[in-house]
Each structure stands twice: as C-alpha cells, then as structure tokens.
Amino acid sequence: MSTSSWKHITEQSLVENHGLKHEEFDKIVEGLGREPNLTELGIFSAMWNEHCSYKSSKYWLKKLPTTGERVIQGPGENAGVIDIDDGDVAVFKMESHNHPSFIEPYQGAATGVGGILRDVFTMGARPVANLNALRFGETKNPKTKHLLSGVVEGIGGYGNCIGIPTVGGEVNFHPSYNGNILVNAMTVGIARKDKIFYSAAAGIGNPVVYVGSKTGRDGIHGATMASAEFDDDSEDKKPTVQVGDPFTEKLLLEACLELMKEEAIIAIQDMGAAGLTSSSIEMASKGNVGLEIDLTKVPMRVQNMTAYELMLSESQERMLMVIDPSKEDLARNIFRKWDLEFEVIGEVTDTKNLVLNMHGKEEACIPINILVEDAPEYQREYTVRKPSKKIEIDQNEFDRKTIIPDLIKMISHPNLCSRKWIWEQYDHMVMADTIVKPGSDAAVVRVHGTNKGIAISTDCSPVYCKHNSFEGGKHAIVETWRNIIASGALPIAVTDCMNFGNPEKPEIMGEFVECIRGMTESCSSLNYPVISGNVSLYNETNGIGIYPTPAIGGVGLIKDLSKTMSIGLKNEGNIICVIGETNGHLNNSQFLSIVKDREEGCVPEINLENEKRNGMFVLDCIEQRLMESVHDIGEGGLLIAIAEMCIAGKLGAQIKVNKEFPHAYFFGEDQSRYLIEVSEKNYETIISLGSLNNIHIEKIATVKGSDLRIDASESVSVAELISKNSEFFEKYTSE
C-alpha cells in the first residue's frame, strides 16, 4: 500500500509502527465511526496484536479437545483447572516470554516466571511448582552462552526469591534457535474447588481496584514487540522488556490469597501482556459490561505519564480487581498491611464501553465488543509440506565395538546430558513437598498435608515437528503422557505453548495446522485435553524462523504417594524389561544427529492404540506394586534410557541381547516404550499379565555390579557414565 493511497488523517507510518495493517485500521475506523486518537490507537494495537488476540491461531485452537470429566475450567481464563479429588483442584498454565528473553535474558526470563505465577494465583491457587521449557541456538554460537546463563539466572533468581520450587523442565540446543530463543514458563498451583476465582467483571457501580506495584514506563509495547519478527536492530527494543521484582510479587501473592479468604473479590485479572489495557478489557468483555476508569488515580512510579503510557505499560506485579463495595475498607487494609498499592480507579458500568478519563478530560471511549468480539480473525493460507522420506541406513557400516563409545558420545552431548548444572541453581525443595526432584521423567509434588501428589512434565521434539509436523504434534502430547505414566500418575490434562515462526508464510502456517491436528489426535485418543496455553508466533530473525515447537506441559494425579516411581535402579538382581516393540527406527534419531551429524529421514510414527494400551498396563502394574522403577524410552533410544537408570540409581546393568544390528536396537527411537525394573518374584506375574493384555514384554538386562555391560565384552563403568553425563555444562559455562 503506497502512502499516496492512504485515506486517513492519521499518518500511515504511525499505524504501521503500532503493528496494524491498512485493512485493520479501516476496520477500527468503521467500528468507531471515526478515527481513533493516539491512546485509542495504542489500545487497538495491543488488543489486536497476535500475542493478545490470537488472530492467526484461534480458528485452529478451537479444534483442540478441551473438556473432560476432571476439567473444571478450560481455555479462556487466566489458567486451566482440573479436579484432583477431595475438594482439591490443580490450576496450571504455560506461557512464553521468548522475545523479551532474547533481548534481555535475565529480566525476560524472570518476568516470564512472575507472569505465569500471577496467572495461577489470580485463580485463587497457591503456586506449588514451576517448570520451564527452554530452547537455545547451537552451543558454538557466540550468543548462546550469554543467553543460557542469563535465562537460567533469571528463572532461578525470581523463583528462588518468591519461594516457589522449580521442579522440572527441559533444555535443548539447535541452530534454528540461534536468532530466537524460546523461554516457556509453567506454573502449577493448588486450590479448593469451591474457592476458584474468575475474571468476569460484574455488578454495575462496583469499584474497579488497582493493586500491587506502581506503574512505570517499562514494557510499553511489549505485547506488540512479541508479535513481530526480529531484525538486526532488535537490541534497540530493550525498553520494551519489563523489569520484575520477586519480593513485591511475594507480597502480592500473599495479599491476594488473604483477600480471597474474605470473599471480597468479585473478579480479578492479572495485568500481564498489554497491562491495564488487556486486564480491563478482558474483565469487561467476559462480564458483558463496561468500565469507566480515571487514569489520574493509577499509582505512578514516574511523573507526567500520559494516558497512552499508563494503558500500555507492562510494569510487573500488578492486578486489577472488581470488589464488593461493602468490603472496600477491609481490602484496602489488607493491601496496606502488605505495603502494596490499593487504589479505586474506576467502576463497572452498563455502557459496554471502555471509558478513560484523565484530569477531567475523556482520553478514550471504545465499545468493548470492537476490541474483543470484532477483533480480526484470519484463516491464513497454508501449505502442508510433505513429511521427510525414509532413508535407508546400511547397518553393516556400524561396528559393534563402537556401541559403548557412541553411547558415551551421545550421553555427553548437550541435548542428552545431565541438566544438573541448571536445576541446582533452582531451589527445587522449598516448601518441602517435592517428592521426585528434577532429573526424572516427571517431577512429583505432594499436595500439602495429604498423601497424594501431582506429577508434572514438559516436552516437545522440534526436529520431529519440522520433518513431520503431524507426527511431531502427536509426539509432543504423548511424550508428556508417557512421562507422567512412568512416575505412577494418571495423566489428566495438558497446557501448551505454541512457538512458531511467521504465520503469514503458508509453509509456517502449515506447520502450525499440522501440529494442531497431531495434538488433537493424541489428546482425543488418550483422554488428555488441553485446558490452557499460549501462542507465540513471529519467532523469526531476518526472515529465518525457528523449528515448530509446540511445547507441552502435562499434569497427572498420584492418589497414593507410596506408589510413586522414579528412574533410578533400585536393587541388584532385579530384572530390566522393555514394554513395547523395538524395530530400530534410526531415521531422524539423536544417534544419527550426534554420532553421524545427519538430520534426515522420516519421523517415528505413533500407534495411539498401542500407546494407550502400553501406558495403562504400566500404570496398572505400578498400582499393584509390581515395579521397582520405570523410565520411558525417548530420544536417544533404549541404551540411553538404561544408562540414565544406571546413573540415577548408581547401579550397573548386565545387558544380554542377540541382535544382528545392535545400533538400531539400542539407539532406535521407536515409540510407546518403557523400561521397567522388576524383582524376580514379580517377573512372572508381569509376564503373565502382559500376555493377558497383549503387551509385548522383552527381558533385556539384570541389575548387577557397577558397570553397564553389553553381553560379555563391551562395558563402561557407571562412574564414567556419571562423569561424562555431567561434564558438558560445567565445562561450557566455565570457559
């Protein structure tokens, strides 16, 4: 669109700088019956950007299964809610803070943690666990070490200060993230079923209250920035990165939870992306009401802030509430006790408009429906790329004598090595309810004061998603389901964080669509719905996008914590078996990538019927106390999984197999498999149950000694495995 064809008084460049397209501005003018002023333009920019409106993704997101017998609240609120029995609920969500973390890694990651914590305690839940899913560029990239250190420090700094344990997550490296790292944060909280709080404003004349920290100029246009590609000048966007204060967040958490006990809150909304703009509009929209706000009453950190700045600031540690007017003084006293701002800044109206006044002047008047219901929704053009074809791998080129050296090379690699250097920087034991700490398939956290717990896991394989987006989407869901099963928990629901490149490119939009299709199939088959989540698009720099990364956070319930499983081997003489069939799928495997430096071939397909049957069999055996330890077989294959069990348990294993092509057997990434450790007395029972349930079970090893030994010849000590598995991060970060 040339400037000469621009028909509006508002400058075209001003509209473009707000991330709005020509036709979107036309729609604004049509809806208002006039051109917007600057404040109104900023509000539309915030509400209609990708980060807040999901205008490119919501059509497809609606196809995900979101209901289930334990689902109390699905997508559409600050976080999802599931029933975990006895009047308790788990509240959880995952969200991205990708762009801010690339620009300023410490504050970007820290405020990502702070934001997701607020989403959870806004619902009335006390947060009990944090997790993360992190993606960085290749380790030799000059920026990676700086970004890794900053992000890890930011996550630890915020989580440790506020006193919420960081209990799990994942960290991976790949060249596709050189220009756009991913920082996805997840929080789980516990609440009572009859004490869940929602965001719909109600009660004409009820006071609208601002609580928390004062508003500054940090984070202005943060949401808009998060909805745009990067270029060589992205460092200039540092002013759009928010600055967090975990100590204030702790005060805010406690004050909110205290007020919630008093039944004074009618509606509550976190001021996250787009700050006061999104929180006020979302509350009004959900309640089908209007809001009138006097911006002069908003607590300010700096003088002479404009209406535009106040509405678009993303200063942290702030909430917006509608409260019972009869309890206003009570509420004010609680927040003053916690040394937090408490200011009545407006009221609920019947106009269905957002009206903003400042110094006696009307700064904005916008119908709520234009901002929300009438926001753009696109069914973007998309093309589905054919999945990568199977490549033939000549097994004869592999020397059996290289199995142990290949194992060591793989288990030393940054994508398969121990993350201990990372999680030791997080306080994972604070609150004293962490039952299974980081490093296992899933973290397990006790529901305080009970004998039940929740199992939590995050996962995704972007390489799978790139080479076959449909199967990759299936896999992302299934991997968390498998991890939760392996912990001894019943998987209940997931949250997602959909990280993709520019959706205006048909091939990128095609990846998104196919991942959604795959996720939908897995969720439907496994009764494992998506109840919350986030979409992060435009993860590109200079036109180069990330691999499709639909990060998944899964949550399950363990009714009896005495039945909790972990991956460490327990006792000499026990038997190790494989649940599920092994066919030696080496295409696009970690073995091929790490050992042969090749990323090619087809992605392992998942038979969801087998997946469900194998998983429920394992869970049933755990319920019957027939297993000593369980580990899912994921990236890297069977031998990596056995090595991880040896490392965790500090015990060796004697493997006896007779395979013509042992590399494929040991490193193939066939799906729907578990490793189980069973006592001799329970072995026959499991074999018998497996036969009755059509479960493929293969005995492959015995827990023995201090070495991992293959047949009678090849071996490596567990001590060396531990050393090689842990050395990467220590060396990398100290160089």
pLDDT of 77-120, one tens digit each? 999 999 999 999 999 999 999 998 999 999 999 999 999 999 99
Average pLDDT over residues 14-42: 94
Q: Percent of the chain at pLDDT above 90?
A: 90
Beta bridge partners of 577: 676, 699
Tell me the whole-structure pTM to 2 decimals.
0.94
Query: What is the pLDDT, as a whole number, of residue 260?
Result: 96
Q: What is the mean pLDDT of the chain?
A: 94
Exposed (0-12), middle (13-18) or buried (19+): which is 327, by Cβ within 10 Å? middle
Catalytic residues: 51, 97
Q: Is the pLDDT of residue 498 over 60?
A: yes
Average pLDDT over residues 67-76: 97
Q: Is the pLDDT of residue 500 over 80?
A: yes
Sheet with 714-717, side-by-side order of all strands: 629-632, 674-678, 575-579, 697-703, 653-655, 707-710, 714-717
Tokens (6 digits) for 493: 């629901």
Q: Is the pLDDT of residue 153 over 50?
A: yes
Average pLDDT over residues 578-591: 96
Average pLDDT over residues 462-489: 98
Average pLDDT over residues 548-575: 98
Long-range contacts of range 242-245, CB-CB < 8 Å, 24 or more positions apart? 242/100, 242/107, 242/111, 242/218, 242/314, 242/315, 242/316, 243/107, 243/111, 243/218, 243/219, 243/315, 243/316, 244/107, 244/110, 244/111, 244/113, 244/114, 244/158, 244/316, 244/317, 245/213, 245/316, 245/317
Query: What is the pLDDT, as a whole number, of residue 2?
Result: 46
Asked whether 114 and 183 are in contact (CB, 8 A), the reply is no
Query: What is the pLDDT, as a whole number, of residue 221?
Result: 65
Asked whether 96 and 497 are in contact (CB, 8 A), the reply is yes
Q: Is the pLDDT of residue 224 over 80?
A: no
* Location of structure tokens 């038979």: 607
Query: What is the pLDDT, as a whole number, of residue 661?
Result: 85
506 vs 500: CA distance, rounded Å = 12
279: Cβ contacts below 8 Å, ≥ 6 apart:
269, 270, 271, 272, 319, 320
Beta strands in 368-442 (DSSP E): 434-436
306 vs 295: CA distance, rounded Å = 9
Q: Is the pLDDT of residue 490 over 70?
A: yes
Asked whether 498 and 511 are in contact (CB, 8 A), the reply is no
Which residue type occupies 520? T
pLDDT band at 238 (very low <50, low <70, confident <90, very high): very low
Q: Is the pLDDT of residue 372 over 80?
A: yes
Q: Is the pLDDT of residue 623 over 70?
A: yes
Query: What is the pLDDT, as a whole number, of residue 237?
Result: 46
Which residue type occupies 282? E
Query: What is the pLDDT, as a whole number, of residue 232?
Result: 53
Lowest mean pLDDT among 348-352, 374-378, 394-398: 394-398
Cα R_g (the chain), whole angstroms: 26
Lowest mean pLDDT among 257-261, 427-431, 493-497: 427-431
62: Cβ contacts below 8 Å, ≥ 6 apart:
none
490 vs 481: CA distance, rounded Å = 9
Alpha-carbon torsion (123, 455, 166, 435), positive or negative: positive
pLDDT digits (tens, 9 = 90+) for 316-362: 999 999 999 999 999 999 999 999 999 999 999 999 999 999 999 99
Closest CA to 515 of 475, 544, 484, 478: 475
Average pLDDT over residues 223-242: 52
Q: Is the pLDDT of residue 235 over 70?
A: no
Residue 542 CB coordination number (10 Å):
10
Q: Is the pLDDT of residue 656 over 60?
A: yes
Lowest mean pLDDT among 65-79, 391-405, 550-564, 608-622: 391-405
Q: Is the pLDDT of residue 231 over 90?
A: no
